[in-house]
Structure 1
Amino acid sequence: MPRFDRIMTTKLPTSLAFAASLLLLACTESHETASRVFTGGVLYTVNEQQPTAEAIAIRGNRIVYVGDSAGIQPYLGPETERIDLQGGTLTPGWIEGHGHFMGLGYNELNLDLSGTKSFQEIVAMVQEATERTPAGEWITGRGWHQSKWTESPGKEVAGFPLHQALSEVSPDHPVFLYHASGHAGFANARAMELAGLLPLGREQLSLSEELEGGEILRDENGNPTGVFNETAMSLIRRHIPANSPERDRQAFELALEACHRHGITGFHDAGIGAKTVELYRQMKNEGKMKIRMYAMLAGSNREFLDEWLEKGPEIDSLLTLRSIKLSCDGALGSRGAWLLEAYSDRPGHFGHETLPMDYVYEVSKKALEKGFQVCSHAIGDRANQEVLDRYQAALEEFPEKSNDHRFRIEHAQHLHPDDIPRFAALGVLPAMQAIHLSSDRPWAIDRLGPKRIKEGAYMWQALLQSGVPIINGTDVPVEPIHPLANFYASITRKTLDGSPEEGYEADQKMTREQALRSYTLDAAYGAFEETMKGSLEVGKVADFVVFDRNIMEIPERELLETKVRMTVLDGEVVYED
């Protein structure tokens, strides 16, 4: 792949430099020279007044010119760095609209199970990990998804395998492996022994029946299978040692590098606690917050949340803390999403309400009063309906706050048809992950059936046409952070292997313009930052990404082969291929 041509203007002898500077001054009039200019490619600005351009100039961390190549001349000075895009395509920096930043980093440190195709493959990976891990230490990982396995795991309970094969290869190591969704986990026998769940006793049996918002899956004899759904995961997680500060910093740096490689300049971190808040502050103070972090405060810890509601938001161009994350149901893959009607493939099961709706209402009122945004995780149609009801009730109580609250629903994956227009009517923003359709749709129809899939699942175009913007993202590490795979899913509604030919429920596809906007300007709007970033306009911050192909014109299959050639944040090149 050709490298960019970086041309520094040649230093002239003093007398000639003086004459040249006078000539340049006369030509530029009121223009200030640029620190960098980018030419030789096509720019997609996401600015309706000027959709495309040929050149961009920046001074420091701000854009000072966007237009044709001829117009760049007055911005050139002796110190201007000129970068030839060599036919590349430049867009605003892409914003991960819903992800888990530290999870991205830790996914590179722990077992990454996202590519596994069978339970047997997972067992083999754990066995290898035991050989390099001291006895007694925990082995953790994430990314498995039973609906994506191509081989049968053998005996199953509720569609999940039993722990015995895993436990046999790891007798001296407690193991806990998170589902790709993060809403379920798989434990081996040693982990369950440490949690007091083995050997089986009456106390442990009754515990699963009384657990609110989750379940321990059990076999016909009442023995735990190893699968812990939703809130039941806490029974195991409380025994996993906390990560060291050094390991947290390592995960942070790995996540940052991954974002830069993929053209991500902004990140909406969907739920962090006090420890991560302090880590992010530390990284910012040390000059290492090389991404625009919009972090949501985890709302499950009431004491932590009350402290923030008391002191108010923190807003900064690199680290903003002004939103609250509430997790209101589970995931569709683990059958934890809260549904109005029972699962098609598990009769009598409706998923889980993982947070009391009265709490959602109370937090929504306090957030309106104190200037916070509420971002509620809701995947199932009942969870979405219940959250919209609580938002509406809170807004009716504070009508003066209803104009620009920008409350969000994270995922909004499955909606009752009657609730689709309510988003625009209430001013609620859906933060959706298009790649979930590509990964989930082949098996999601088993969970919901064809009628619910067609009328209410992944309803991108219906929501856009109702007048509400969509915030796009990957939910990393649930899915890889690869934004172009997400862009591909947005415009094709196909799996990454290109099926079906016309796409699933093709009438809900986004256009390329809509998809690009959902990853840039509309994502910025979802964080109250659209006047600062999200489009290539004079005065906005110089955050952008350069691709090696024209993503707005190439055949759709080529999108998955497109590479990021450069990422620029705050006017500085943070990644170059």
Structure 2
Amino acid sequence: MGPGFLPRFFLFLLLLPLTAHCDTVLLHNIRGAHIVEGDSGKPAVEKFSAIAFCEGRVLAVGEAADLSERYKSAEAIDGRGRALLPGLIDAHGHMQALGLLQREIDLRDMGFAETLEAVKKFAATRSGAQWVTGRGWNQVLWPGGQWPNAADLDALEIARPVWLRRVDGHAGWANSAALRAAGIDRDTPVPEGGEILKDADGRPTGILVDNAMSLMERAIPAPSQRELEAALGAAFEISLANGLTSVHDAGINGDTYRAYRALAERGAIPMRVYPMLAVDADEFAQLLDAGPVGTAKSRLFIRSIKISADGALGSRGAALLEPYRDRPQTTGLLLHSERELDKYFASALERGFQINVHAIGDRANRIVLDKFGKYAGDDSRNFRHRIEHAQVVSPKDIPRFEQLDIIASMQPIHATSDMNMAGDRLGEERLDGAYAWRTFLDRGIPLAAGSDFPVEPVNPFLGIHAAVTRQNSDNEPEGGWIPREKISLTEALHAFTLGAAYAAHQEEVIGNLESGKAADFILVDRDIFAINPKELWKTRVLETWVAGERVH
């Protein structure tokens, strides 16, 4: 008996119950593809025409004739020649915000006059609501690109408070009724890390940036747990319809934590969710002390925290090393002090939690890398700490991601959304190291991809298209924006599958369709490896399966 016999024998015994005593399903006549590790250690595409699974786990992928012979008693399902991919993973989304937006007004991609008209019509349909709320406006798209003000909303003659978050979620626009409801006037102290825009007479204009937004939002009635559960339910449905079988929820508070736990206890989470505990939540310390929730195999898995180091580029809250080119009197906002960052890092590490930090500007990224360096230890690789966005990074700081074992959790669609203003904010000469996916990958830095929905649309194929082409859905600009930072389709799909799974400690469970992993997959209307990359964004999801069950 050779030395390798016993381990192989025990592996056989472990696999025996799965293969011999479950109802196997064989999905055949498909054009399947997933990402595996190639001979060079880099991502490679493996294609197959059938997949066998049972009890929620993959038995094998391969040629239909081979698997039909291997699993003769399996229930055969004809895939009708459709394309199959592993379930996609969004490494940075906001589930509660997405769900709640379904009962609010979505102002994405609207002009200024169109925005005002939409708010007026929406308010008329919500006559029973105490507040009129929404998000998605973007002054960069409006003539002159100037901030709106309360008077613009007051002219609509809506008697109730109106509060509208900017598309990036880092600024808000209020009418006068909302300012009064929140008690905001010329004498209101400005919170550290925030900004209250004022007119020449010192009166608030209605625009609040970053931490100043909390002055308004604490005045808005909080949703009940039932409403939060319903919002999360709506977000699950939208995510699944777009081919997402897992989402990393980038920052939750205590109320959302309890809503997730209640849904999990009822078996009412139809996908996989990896929420991050937001450090600015009132109950953060208690939630952290409660410890991790679930395991890598669970539908609900909580073992990370979320810190926002700075604001966003569009609202000029991203913290920069040099002043904004189009507003030289500012370098952006830091949302936490050094002392606060130390406290959050130390408390998370003591309790075994991964640290995920929002950093958009080059100054914020440098500060966060310094902090990771300060707390680096022999187990840093095990934590898999992340910088969320890593949007504008000084070229000299990019190698530090590799040195400190930091994952770059980036959103490709941000590049094509921001290309109309990034040069204005930074100056073209400062775009080296901005939205630099190719540069990160070439240094061997792990890349996890997401969308930041509802800042951007949920559809992950928009992000895959942006990653490969550096173009928007009109395939502009010709050749792509900063085309040297394009990545291949294989690399993009890896970032939305195995890369994202690795960033949540789940690569042994999900990310591709290797034997033993979860049978999470999607059927789509085209073979994305056989089409013009410019058509990637048009891909539509036909079916979504989680743990071997069709959920959409």
TM-score bracket, normalised by the shorter chain, equals: over 0.9
Matched residue, 1:229: 209
Residue 271 (structure 2) pairs with residue 282 (structure 1):
no
Paired residue for 1:425, among 403, 410, 413?
Answer: 403
Residue 143 of structure 1 aligns to which amino acid in structure 2?
G
Whole-Å Cα distance in 2 between the matches of residues 239 and 364 of structure 1? 30
The alpha carbon displacement at 1:368 in A equals 2.4
The alpha carbon displacement at 1:553 in A equals 2.3
Matched residue, 2:355: 374
Matched residue, 1:533: 510
Whole-Å Cα distance in 2 between the matches of residues 295 and 506 of structure 1? 33
Whole-Å Cα distance in 1 between the matches of residues 132 and 310 of structure 2? 27
- The answer (yes or no) to whether the contact 2:225–2:255 under 8 Å persists in 1 is no
Matched residue, 1:17: none
Matched residue, 1:139: 132
The alpha carbon displacement at 1:304 in A equals 2.6
Paired residue for 1:174, among 161, 168, 174?
Answer: 161
**Aligned-partner SS, 1:123:** helix
Matched residue, 1:129: 122
After TM superposition, the structure 1 = structure 2 runs for residues 537-556 of structure 1, keeping only pairs within 5 Å, are 537-556=514-533
The alpha carbon displacement at 1:54 in A equals 1.7
User: 1:423-467: CA deviations, max 9, x gaps?
Assistant: 1110000110000011111211100111111x1200101101111
**Aligned-partner SS, 2:454:** coil
Whole-Å Cα distance in 2 between the matches of residues 219 and 457 of structure 1? 33
User: 1:308-362: CA deviations, max 9, x gaps?
Assistant: 4433222331111100000110000000000000001001210000011332233
Residue 366 of structure 2 aligns to which amino acid in structure 1?
Q
Residue 57 (structure 2) pairs with residue 62 (structure 1):
yes
The alpha carbon displacement at 1:137 in A equals 1.4
The alpha carbon displacement at 1:535 in A equals 1.0
Residue 285 (structure 2) pairs with residue 306 (structure 1):
yes
After TM superposition, the structure 1 = structure 2 runs for residues 398-437 of structure 1, keeping only pairs within 5 Å, are 399-437=377-415
**Aligned-partner SS, 2:301:** strand
Residue 536 of structure 1 aligns to which amino acid in structure 2?
L
**Aligned-partner SS, 2:419:** helix
Residue 422 of structure 1 aligns to which amino acid in structure 2?
R
Residue 193 (structure 2) pairs with residue 213 (structure 1):
yes
- The answer (yes or no) to whether the contact 1:432–1:473 under 8 Å persists in 2 is yes
Residue 287 of structure 1 aligns to which amino acid in structure 2?
G
**Aligned-partner SS, 1:375:** strand
- The answer (yes or no) to whether the contact 1:135–1:173 under 8 Å persists in 2 is no
User: 1:106-164: CA deviations, max 9, x gaps?
Assistant: 12111011131x22212112211232233771000011111123x45xxx8xx302221
After TM superposition, the structure 1 = structure 2 runs for residues 70-81 of structure 1, keeping only pairs within 5 Å, are 70-76=65-71, 78=73, 80-81=74-75
Structure 2: stretches of 5+ with no match in the other structure? 1-15, 39-44
**Aligned-partner SS, 1:400:** coil
**Aligned-partner SS, 2:32:** strand
The alpha carbon displacement at 1:34 in A equals 5.0
Moved more, 429-438 or 44-53: 44-53
- The answer (yes or no) to whether the contact 1:37–1:56 under 8 Å persists in 2 is yes
**Aligned-partner SS, 2:325:** coil
TM-score normalised by the chain length of structure 1: 0.88
Moved more, 544-553 or 317-326: 544-553
Residue 44 of structure 1 aligns to which amino acid in structure 2?
A
Matched residue, 2:222: 242
The alpha carbon displacement at 1:223 in A equals 1.8
Matched residue, 2:343: 362
Change (3 A) 1:136 1:111: closer
Residue 30 (structure 2) pairs with residue 41 (structure 1):
yes
The alpha carbon displacement at 1:367 in A equals 2.3
- The answer (yes or no) to whether the contact 1:31–1:75 under 8 Å persists in 2 is no
- The answer (yes or no) to whether the contact 1:34–1:64 under 8 Å persists in 2 is no
Q: CA RMSD in A?
A: 1.9
Residue 226 of structure 2 aligns to which amino acid in structure 1?
E
Matched residue, 1:330: 311
Residue 149 (structure 2) pairs with residue 162 (structure 1):
yes
Whole-Å Cα distance in 1 between the matches of residues 82 and 310 of structure 2? 42
Structure 1: stretches of 5+ with no match in the other structure? 1-27
Matched residue, 1:115: 109
Whole-Å Cα distance in 1 between the matches of residues 243 and 340 of structure 2? 37
Matched residue, 2:99: 105
Residue 139 of structure 2 aligns to which amino acid in structure 1?
Q
Whole-Å Cα distance in 2 between the matches of residues 548 and 136 of structure 1? 40
**Aligned-partner SS, 1:235:** helix
Residue 30 of structure 2 aligns to which amino acid in structure 1?
G
After TM superposition, the structure 1 = structure 2 runs for residues 441-460 of structure 1, keeping only pairs within 5 Å, are 441-453=419-431, 455-460=432-437
Matched residue, 1:22: none
- The answer (yes or no) to whether the contact 1:368–1:401 under 8 Å persists in 2 is no
User: Number of paired residues?
Assistant: 528
TM-score normalised by the chain length of structure 2: 0.92
Matched residue, 1:387: 368
Change (3 A) 1:34 1:173: same
Moved more, 370-379 or 216-225: 216-225
- The answer (yes or no) to whether the contact 2:412–2:451 under 8 Å persists in 1 is yes
Paired residue for 2:457, among 480, 483, 488?
Answer: 480
Whole-Å Cα distance in 1 between the matches of residues 493 and 516 of structure 2? 21
- The answer (yes or no) to whether the contact 1:328–1:377 under 8 Å persists in 2 is yes
Paired residue for 1:513, among 479, 490, 494?
Answer: 490
User: 1:511-543: CA deviations, max 9, x gaps?
Assistant: 000000000001000000001110110000110
**Aligned-partner SS, 2:397:** helix
Matched residue, 2:443: 466
Whole-Å Cα distance in 1 between the matches of residues 148 and 244 of structure 2? 37
Whole-Å Cα distance in 1 between the matches of residues 422 and 27 of structure 2? 44
The alpha carbon displacement at 1:560 in A equals 2.3
- The answer (yes or no) to whether the contact 2:58–2:516 under 8 Å persists in 1 is yes
- The answer (yes or no) to whether the contact 1:367–1:373 under 8 Å persists in 2 is yes
Residue 223 of structure 2 aligns to which amino acid in structure 1?
N
Residue 249 (structure 2) pairs with residue 269 (structure 1):
yes
Moved more, 514-523 or 252-261: 252-261
**Aligned-partner SS, 1:66:** strand
User: 1:246-287: CA deviations, max 9, x gaps?
Assistant: 322321221111111111000100000111111111111111
Change (3 A) 1:140 1:31: closer
- The answer (yes or no) to whether the contact 2:150–2:175 under 8 Å persists in 1 is yes
- The answer (yes or no) to whether the contact 2:306–2:356 under 8 Å persists in 1 is yes
Residue 148 of structure 1 aligns to which amino acid in structure 2?
L
Whole-Å Cα distance in 1 between the matches of residues 158 and 520 of structure 2? 50
Change (3 A) 1:381 1:96: same
User: 1:390-410: CA deviations, max 9, x gaps?
Assistant: 011011xxx232232211000
Residue 83 of structure 2 aligns to which amino acid in structure 1?
T
Change (3 A) 1:306 1:137: closer
Whole-Å Cα distance in 1 between the matches of residues 409 and 181 of structure 2? 38
- The answer (yes or no) to whether the contact 2:132–2:160 under 8 Å persists in 1 is yes
Moved more, 60-69 or 330-339: 60-69
- The answer (yes or no) to whether the contact 2:149–2:174 under 8 Å persists in 1 is no
Whole-Å Cα distance in 1 between the matches of residues 459 and 76 of structure 2? 29
